[in-house]
Amino acid sequence: MHKGVILGVCSIQIRRRDSLWSVWQEGEKNGIISAIMSRPILAPSILSADFADIAGAVHAIEEAGAQWIHLDVMDGRFVPPITFGAKMAGDIKKRTSLFLDAHLMVMEPERHLHDFIEAGVHAITIHPEACIHSHRALQTIRNHGILAGISLIPSTAVNTIAPLLESADIVLVMTVNPGYGGQKLLPFCLGKIDELRTFREQHGLSYRISVDGGVNATTISELASHGPDVLVAGSAFFSAENKRHFVERMREEFRRNSPSGQREC
């Protein structure tokens, strides 16, 4: 187990329906829990950052008051571009205490899990479209004390991952076809958020619902009405002249438009 990720929880056995979110709350908090529990969670994606100044991008995310850093890992096979690997994640880990959310848009992600675990990320999300043994991969992630996520591209239906949801801590709904930043949100994907919320409530699960693609100040009102927990924003965040104002505006609009009575993360 990577000891730097979750402290004091190694002896806690994870039951079938448990989420690592509850385990984190039982273990050492180290300031991370308070950061990830404030809804909505804002997760700027460094895909849209200047790769020649990643340290500056990380600092900008911290100064803006966002809680997570979203790491878009691409291999040139599952999606056309190639971005970066576990070394980048590890280098970022050395420079921030923020929650690191690694999104592996790669074929056979199970081959790379241990590299990202050793890099010290807090969550690893895989695509079932790219992984034959997705359940095994999720269990591997969780067995190392890392939050396990599963992501859906626009053409993948929620019902195809129903058997995996008990093993997921995060479900990432892609609202664009993955691979490139700056795309427009695909409205037909938003219904998946509703399906996932209903499934979560009906089955007593606690995974967080994340949304990635076309998340910006124009789409936040519609997004919020569906009630996701995590908002991944890349181009909109890094193109904002005042990034703290952007984060504050996104939170304000989210809370104004989110479904009444929805539980806090």
Is residue 71 helix, strand or coil?
strand
From 72, 101, 169, 229, the catalytic residue: 72
Tell me whether residue 75 is one of the annotated catalytic residues: no
Q: What is the pLDDT of residue 15?
A: 39
Residue 85's Cβ-side half-sphere holds a number of Cα atoms within 13 Å equal to 10
Nearest CA among 179, 215, 196 for reference residue 79: 179
Nearest CA among 171, 207, 176 for reference residue 189: 176
For 38-93, write each residue's pLDDT tens digit. Answer: 779 999 999 999 999 999 999 999 999 999 999 999 999 999 999 999 999 999 99
Q: What is the pLDDT of residue 164?
A: 97
Tell me whether residue 194 is one of the annotated catalytic residues: no
Which superfamily is assigned to 20-155+163-257 in CATH?
Answer: Aldolase class I (3.20.20.70)
Q: Give the chain's end-to-end CA distance (angstroms, integer).
A: 26
From 75, 101, 169, 212, the catalytic residue: 212
For 125-149, write each residue's pLDDT tens digit. Answer: 999 999 999 999 999 999 999 999 9
Q: What is the pLDDT of residue 33?
A: 56
Distance (Å, whole) CA 113 – CA 138:
10
Name the pTM for this structure: 0.87
Q: Would the pLDDT of 2 be above 50?
A: no
Phi, psi of 230 (to 5 degrees): -125, 135
Rounded to the nearest 10 degrees, what angle do helices 54-64 and 243-257 cross at?
50
Q: Where are the domains of the chain?
A: 20-155+163-257
